[in-house]
Structure 1
Amino acid sequence: MTFQEAILKSASCNTRHLLLGNGFSIACIPTIFTYNSLFAEADFSDNPEIELAFKKLSTTDFELVINALEKSSVLLPAYSEKLDELCGKMSLDADKIKELLIDTIANRHPEYPSQIEQEKYSYCRKFLSNFVFKGSKGRVYTLNYDLLLYWTLMHEIDNEGFKLVHNDGFGRDTIVENGEIEVANELTWQGKASNQNIHYIHGALHLFDVGFQLEKFSWVNTGTTLIQQARMALRLNKFPLFVTEGDSEKKMSKITHNAYLFNSYESFDGVAQAGFGKPGNTCLFTYGVSFSENDRHIFNKVANGKIKKLFVGIYGDPSSTNNQHIISLAESLKSSRSIHPLEIDYYDSQTANVWG
């Protein structure tokens, strides 16, 4: 069916939720958003020993390898005084990985919001208005860590005819000092809140872990681009929060060890469960989601949940190999339900005109 037909059919539901996958970004700028992971895109040709370090630690997590190298460079001299040169190289390699991480991001992401046409923002905001509008309890979840969703939500347009209501959970802390109330400069995650309706389940490039809190970088407040802010943050050992692992189990390990990520994951679980007891009258739309095995931790929640309806976006010929794979995996969610039936419909994602 068309996206418009799917929306009409979902009108019987009290609430619509949305799950975005990499196809959301590819539809905007196909030439730069076709990567599967930052690790797969990184160029290790000048530093083969760094690539080997990732393999030895069985990870694609940049932060984990950087931390391992930095800690080893400090720890090894305690065991031998002859390792100064090796420790120095480990420390330098940790810095090289930081630059490699930023260079990879820079090569695969627009630097300014203005590099995306105004018309594209208008279409995307109209698409999102089906899920996060005034009076709605809908939520948007994204598996992507690029900035397109964030930029679109922040791109206010005059005379739209609708009101997008969005809350990503970040705000400014207030501090009382000598009887005076001061507002912090940083945007930080305010913790679990029922009104948060935008969730980056796998993190995002503008979210940075500073150890004791999670900060959100904003171009509007600083006039400094993401790439410049990221470079400055990495020099201070602040890392962008995103899940770069290549399989579902490792992704879950990262998610469960971070309060923000785990809260978003629990929120999605709540949507999949559709309330307690009997199934709630809610539905979930997917757009640009490939139903890949490395996101099994996401779809297991739907399989084990009680949400009534699932609308799956299909791009192109439904009989193609890729689409048949998506349909097969989606149907497996349906067949796994034994008590609470799951209704699945498929819609042509091109008819959603997400970016025009």
Structure 2
Amino acid sequence: MTHKIFNWLDIAEDFSQTLLLGNGASVAVHGEFGYSGLFEAAQVHRFIDASVQEVFTKFETNDFELVLRRLWQAKQVNTALGIAVKEVDEAYAVVRGALIKTVQKVHVSYEDAREHFEHIYKFMRRFRTVISLNYDLIVYWAAQFGNDELGSRYHFKDGFNKCVFADDWAMYREAYSGIENPTIFCYPHGNITLGMTTSLDERKLVAGSQDLLNSIIDAWDTGTRSPIFVSDGTSKQKLDAILKSDYLRSVYGGPLSEVGESLVIYGWGIAKQEEHILDRIGAATPERIAVSVYDGMQAYCEHAYRALSDLGVKDIRFFHSDSDGAWNNPVSSTSFV
């Protein structure tokens, strides 16, 4: 079956509810994000040595967040009880070191990503909700850039007030300071901006946009934050991690379950390890879904069509990922929005 692939602007007016971003959105900005997860990136760049691999093997996972969270919590308990456990401290140190090296290696700098932000925030602002499955800072940076450009921090909202999450998405959808129909953005798999404090509270780390990545790395390095993001593992492992976090559980039961009548998927492979996301979309029963397609790949169109048809979606459309106005692609002077 051959599927027609539109240009984004030909179908854009029919889609304004929810945007779901997968890893392809980040890769479009920076090629180093093109790994299946941070563990693979760490392997490619040889940050996984025998000592690090041994820790992951014992936990039977490739997920940095899961391993670090368990070791970090063990460290907090040991410290509170005055117990010195050398093996826990050493395991935490080697895994943390591998994570820091990997993120420093693969993450784009603010300066190099900046040229994309105007196009990205204009694309995101079309939607009521932006859901990012990515651990990186692209969406956050673009949203803050958009707020600055548009003259108010209430165009894009992430559910945090003074770094503290408020589990009330309806409140953040309300107009405030003269800004109607704000765009909320969230992360079902967490994000490197999020972390657990030594008092076991979940917080967002705030710093100037250009300093944010270094501030996150410093917080991990000093042990003042344990990261909250899920970048590897099976669908079941990811769902287990989601249900253990107040923020992730709120996103899973909130915005991800309320995508509305229309959904746009950009850069998401709809892979087996993310069936829990697909299940949530199906439960939300959107009437129509638009899916980005890279390089006209009909095989992906067929894969996506079958997966989404199985959810009961009747109106499934495809659009070229590099067409005008889509994600980080500018609108040319010959195009009309």
SS in 2 for 1:41: helix
1:286-320 Cα shifts (integer Å, max 9, x gaps): 1111111111111112233321111111111232x
Verify the 8 A CA contact 1:73 1:91 in the aligned structure 2: no
Identity over aligned residues, as a percent?
23
Deviation (angstroms), 1:68: 5.3
SS in 2 for 1:198: strand
1:33-84 Cα shifts (integer Å, max 9, x gaps): 1011111122466731320221222112334434655749998xxxxxxxx9
Query: What aligned pairs does 1:271-282 form with structure 2 within 5 A after superposition?
Result: 271-272=258-259, 274=260, 282=261
Deviation (angstroms), 1:98: 1.2
Answer with 32-41 or 89-98: which moved more. 89-98
> Which of 204, 216, 219 in structure 1 is aligned with 2:207?
219
Verify the 8 A CA contact 1:102 1:231 in the aligned structure 2: no
1:248-277 Cα shifts (integer Å, max 9, x gaps): 1100000011110011111234324x4xxx
Q: Which residue of 1 aligns with 2:111?
A: 114
Verify the 8 A CA contact 2:188 2:252 in the aligned structure 1: yes
SS in 2 for 1:155: helix
Verify the 8 A CA contact 2:47 2:102 in the aligned structure 1: no
Distance 1:130 1:264 in 2: 20
> Which of 4, 10, 17 in structure 1 is aligned with 2:9?
4
Q: Which residue of 2 aligns with 1:198?
A: 185
Partner amino acid, structure 1, of 2:124: L
Q: Which residue of 2 aligns with 1:179?
A: none
Query: What aligned pairs does 1:131-142 form with structure 2 within 5 A after superposition?
Result: 131=127, 138-142=128-132
Q: Which residue of 2 aligns with 1:332?
A: 307
SS in 2 for 1:201: coil
Q: Which has the larger radius of gyration?
A: 1
1:206-237 Cα shifts (integer Å, max 9, x gaps): 1111154222122318x744234433344235
Answer with 298-307 or 61-70: which moved more. 61-70
Q: Structure 1 residues 233 and 308 mapped into 2: Cα distance closer, same or farther (>3 Å)?
A: same
Deviation (angstroms), 1:29: 1.6
Partner amino acid, structure 2, of 1:216: K
Verify the 8 A CA contact 2:27 2:33 in the aligned structure 1: yes
Q: Which residue of 2 aligns with 1:53?
A: 55
Q: Which residue of 1 aligns with 2:145?
A: 155
Q: Which residue of 1 aligns with 2:254?
A: 267
Q: Structure 1 residues 311 and 239 mapped into 2: Cα distance closer, same or farther (>3 Å)?
A: same
Q: Structure 1 residues 158 and 61 mapped into 2: Cα distance closer, same or farther (>3 Å)?
A: closer
Distance 1:201 1:64 in 2: 15
Partner amino acid, structure 1, of 2:275: R
> Which of 282, 291, 302 in structure 1 is aligned with 2:281?
302
Distance 2:148 2:202 in 1: 32
Structure 2: state its 5+ residue gaps: 1-5, 79-83, 174-183, 330-337
Q: Structure 1 residues 162 and 219 mapped into 2: Cα distance closer, same or farther (>3 Å)?
A: closer
Q: TM-score, normalised by structure 2?
A: 0.80
1:355 aligns with 2:334: no
Structure 1: state its 5+ residue gaps: 76-83, 132-137, 173-186, 275-281
Alignment RMSD (CA, Å):
3.1
Q: Which residue of 2 aligns with 1:239?
A: 226
